Amino acid sequence: MFFDTALLRLFSKGSFQDRYGHNAVLWRFYSWDPAAVSLGHGQSAGEIDEKRCRTENIDIVRRPTGGRAVLHADEFTYSFFTETRESNAAVYAMVHDIIRLALRRLGVETEFCRSTPDMRKRYATAESVSCFTASARNELQAGGRKLVGSAQRRSDRALLQHGSLPLSEKYRMLPDLLTSDDPAVLSAVADRLERKTVSLADLTGSAASFDTLCDAMYRTIAARTDAAIRYLTEEELTALL
């Protein structure tokens, strides 16, 4: 999360564009080791059981973007950085369309969510502690169940969008890491995760590897652009910070 924040700052200052070209964008793909709970930018850390997380070797981090808690365990995580005058909504839809086409290469059909719930009203409820239990407009669903959850942060004309694609059902362990002592709340969160979300393994019968997702994303991005694509190491990016 620190690295995503630092890369957004690079785009905001223009340092990345100075090095790689005025119209350059950056895709970053990563996973988590150890697993971690990420909190939304304004979410209270008190909602997560720190002691239980420590016992289970699960980190707790804070995202630069909004939303609620996500358990990043066995997943494909992406970040997209750009400097653009396009609206946040337009970028949101474009990024998810590329992910949709990449998933199609793996035989997984998804569709856009066509509505957004009243987030202010939802966040007023105790069971809203989990980010994955609500879908925003143009997020990706399979059979009406959320598969990809994303969030954004803008700094001037620079925009970060990052999100999670669960490879297995491990993200559904989140209710076990909450501090709530209300069984009804914990049951509601678990029920929503079960009914309203889906993993790649649920759809294919087995968890696709991280490298398989990376390859599908690369092929899809290459097919959608005439620009040259360059692989960057973490060391190359860190040298710009």
CATH classification at residue 76: 3.30.930.10
* Amino acid at residue number 211: D
Q: What is the pLDDT of residue 122?
A: 44
The mean pLDDT values, 10 residues at a time, for the chain of 241 residues are: 95 94 94 96 92 96 92 96 95 96 96 69 51 69 94 94 95 93 89 93 87 95 90 91 87
Q: What is the pLDDT of residue 120?
A: 56
Strands 145-155 and 140-142: antiparallel
Is 113 annotated as catalytic?
no
For 160, the token pair is 């970060």
Task: Please state the pTM of the whole predicted model.
Answer: 0.89
What is the domain range of residue 214? 2-238
Active site residue: 53, 113, 131, 214, which one? 131
Burial of 205 (0-12, 13-18, 19+ CB in 10 A): exposed
Number of separate domains in the chain: 1
